Amino acid sequence: MVNNKQLRWGLVLGTLFGVAACTNDIDPNAGLPTPSRGEADFTKYVAVGNSLTAGYQDGGLYREGQLSSYPALLAGQFKTVGGGDFVQPLFSEAQANGSGYLKLTSLTPTTGIVLPGAARGGQTTSGQLLLTKYNGASQNLGVPGIRMADIQRAGYGSVQGNAFFERLLPDNSLTTYLQYVSDNLNGATFFSCWLGNNDALGYATSGGVSALTEEAVFNTNYTAILNKLTENNRKGIVIGIPPVSVVPFFTTVTLPQLLAQVNAAVQQQAPGTPAITALVIQSPAAPGGVRATKAGDLLLLQPYISGEYNKIGSTTAGTGRGPYGLSATNPLPSQFVLDAEEVALLNQRIAAFNQTMKTGAEAKNIAYLDPGVLLTRAQQGITENGVTYNATFVQGGIFSLDGVHLTPAGYALTANDIINTINAKYKATIPTLNASRYRRVLLQP
């Protein structure tokens, strides 16, 4: 058995020191014009979206994440230009753990799992734990897991089993997400809409196994929700889909890095063995459904965290015979790798989705933001108020422990991009946030 324990934790152990952001009291708006709302009205702001909107981070939805969601941060800045209070479907302080989440608990190779604090017993049809119901109005309508393709599905919460949506609805409700949004738009004067990520992300994080939303379905549902959000000439902002292949879930473990670790372990066990130049993976498009890895393939983070890559070379791991991941008769499963061809298809589909959203926003004369701008800058490093952030897993400060969702600091940086876009479109002067006042990944007891 090849032991790749160094691969799994070398990055984490080498970067834990200093992962908390240094805070400072620099005012990023010093010397800027007096805050004004410009051509928009922020009296009542409503946020539509998925997990990013809800404040999901570290693999779960919990109270701290909700309080640092980008809509909550935006609403705080909107108050400087006449915005009102912002109501979220918060977990109570007694159930602050929410759905449960990950946290970094020591410098040894362990990541603690915080148990759910709001489980009420029972499960949805998809196996998710049912969460304590939230009763009442809300302005943060973010539902983790929802796709644009799902917004007109009757029973998406109760029947189809999204526990995060189910907790917001009466028992056995067949209400669609589109109807839920409509019910909570009463009196809204401004909106944000960040939907569509999961239509691409679900495909990507499954290694291309889950379905990728068809363009026709996406376009139909986007038109329906945009028409609803812009009724009575309501202003707002639409946020596009970032290039998911640049987030840590797909960049933390590279093929050269993994091969180097595998070869080092092989040489230690059997000196003189020829170098291994590729792994063997399942690939539905390849002859016989199996092929060698190649440039452009992306290795996923989850098998790295769970230790599956540690088993490469084992003759007892996998579902076939032969050394696991090194033999055509015992390849790594397709869901561990996003093939180069799948990456190309994913990027093409994201570009099409974004064009649909941008064109729709322009037709309605509302703001549109491409979030890929932030992520592209994060590849090189972003310095704001004397603090530098980048897209590196754990150390970079932007991404949380699930490798996809953001830290509070990451949500603050995102809120600033949204504010800057709103200011430019609506001739407003809403002040931005000092992101250094919000935490990054922390080592916690």
User: Residue 160 sits in a domain of what CATH number?
Assistant: 3.40.50.1110
Q: Which residues contact 197 (CB under 8 A, 6 or more apart)?
A: 50, 51, 52, 241, 242, 244
Dihedral (Cα; 398, 98, 45, 431), 10-degree rounding: -30
Q: Please check whether residues 259 and 173 belong to one and the same domain.
A: no
Two tokens at 312? 């490469």
Instruction: Answer whether residue 127 shows pLDDT above 50.
Output: yes
Q: Is residue 18 in a domain? A: no
Check if the beta carbon of residue 326 is closer than 8 Å to that of residue 279.
Answer: yes
Q: What is the dihedral of CA 92, 97, 101, 102, to 10 degrees?
A: 130
Give residue 152's identity as a one-letter amino acid code: Q
The alpha carbon of residue 212 and the mean position of all alpha carbons in its chain are separated, in whole angstroms, by: 17
- Whether 11 is covered by a domain: the verdict is no
pLDDT score of 285 more than 90: no
C-alpha 257/C-alpha 409 separation (Å) is: 29
Last residue in a domain, options 280, 311, 338: 338
Q: Do 96 and 122 belong together in one domain?
A: yes
309 and 352 both lie in a single domain = no
Q: 8 lies in a domain?
A: no
Residues 61-114 pLDDT 10s: 999 999 999 999 999 999 999 999 999 999 999 999 999 999 988 765 557 889
When pLDDT is cut at 50, 70 and 90, the band that residue 14 belongs to is very low
For residues 400 and 58, give the distance between their C-alpha atoms in angstroms, rounded to a whole number: 5
CA dist 20 and 246 (Å) reads 22
> Same domain for 136 and 184?
yes
Phi (first) and psi of residue 46, to 5 degrees: -125, 135
Does residue 21 belong to any structural domain of this protein?
no
Q: State how far the Cα of 213 lies from the Cα of 146, in Å rounded to an integer.
A: 12
CA angle, 349 then 351 then 354, to 5°: 110
The whole-angstrom distance between residue 202's C-alpha and the CA centroid of its chain comes to 10
According to DSSP, the β-strands at 119-123 and 129-131 are antiparallel
Neighbours of 177 (CB within 10 A): 27
Mean per-residue pLDDT, 300-328? 91
In the numeric block, the tokens 């992962």 are attached to: 19
- The answer to the question of residue 19 being in a domain is no
Convert the pLDDT of each residue in 197-256 to its tens digit: 999 999 999 999 999 999 999 999 999 999 999 999 999 999 999 988 889 999 999 999
Q: Is 252 within 8 Å of 402 (Cβ atoms)?
A: no
Nearest-angstrom CA–CA distance, 32 and 49: 31
Give the C-alpha separation, 170 to 182, whole Å: 16
Side chain identity, residue 127: G
Which of 299, 318, 338 is the endpoint of a domain?
Answer: 338
Quick one: 255 and 328 in the same domain? yes
85/239 Cα distance (integer angstroms): 22
Residue 59 lies inside a defined structural domain of this protein: yes
Q: Is residue 73 part of a domain?
A: yes
Question: Quick one: pLDDT at residue 92?
Answer: 97
Does one domain contain both 317 and 419? Answer: no
**Cα distance between residue 44 and residue 191, in whole Å:** 8
Distance between CA 43 and CA 221 in Å, rounded?
Answer: 27
User: What is the average per-residue pLDDT within 128-155?
Assistant: 95
Mean pLDDT, rounded, for 149-156? 96
- Angle at 113 (CA atoms; ends 108, 114), nearest 5 degrees: 130
Strand partners, 131: 119
The percentage of residues in the chain with a pLDDT greater than 90, rounded to a whole number, is 77
82 and 205 together in one domain: yes
Judged against a pLDDT cut of 90, whether residue 375 lies above it is answered with no
Gap between the Cα atoms of 378 and 130, Å rounded? 36
Q: In terms of residue numbers, what domain contains 260?
A: 251-338
Q: Is residue 370 classed as helix, strand or coil in its secondary structure?
A: coil
On the question of pLDDT at 24 being above 90, the answer is no
Structure tokens at 27: 């005012």
Look at the chain and report how many structural domains it folds into: 2
Mean per-residue pLDDT, 353-360: 98
In this structure, the answer to whether residues 70 and 179 fall within a common structural domain is yes
Residue 8 has pLDDT above 70, yes or no: no
Query: 23: helix, coil or strand?
Result: coil
Kindly give the residue spans of alpha helices, DSSP state H, lying in 244-339: 248-251, 255-269, 301-306
Among residues 338, 356, 388, the one where a domain terminates is 338
Residues 267 and 242 in one domain: no
b (16+ CB within 10 A) / e for 142-163: bbbbbbbbbbbbebbbbeebbb
Same domain, 142 and 233: yes
Instruction: Mark whether 331 and 355 lie in a shared domain.
Output: no
pTM (predicted TM-score): 0.92
Give the pair of three-digit tokens for residue 233: 């000439």
Highest mean pLDDT among 1-10, 178-187, 239-248: 178-187
- Which of 20-34, 160-174, 183-197 has the highest mean predicted lDDT (pLDDT)? 183-197
Residue 306 lies in a domain: yes
Which residue type, as a one-letter code, is found at position 431?
P
Res 95: pLDDT: 98
Measured CA to CA in angstroms, residue 169 lies from 10, 139, 144, 176 at distances of 44, 14, 15, 10
pLDDT-derived band at 9, boundaries 50, 70, 90: very low
The pLDDT value given to residue 107: 65
- The mean of the pLDDT values for the chain is 90
Specify which of 117-126, 168-177, 358-367 reaches the highest per-range mean pLDDT.
358-367
> Half-sphere exposure of 228 toward its Cβ, with a 13 Å CA cutoff?
22
Model confidence at 442, pLDDT cuts 50, 70, 90, reads confident
Residues 229, 261 within the same domain: no
Band of the pLDDT at 377, cuts 50, 70, 90? confident
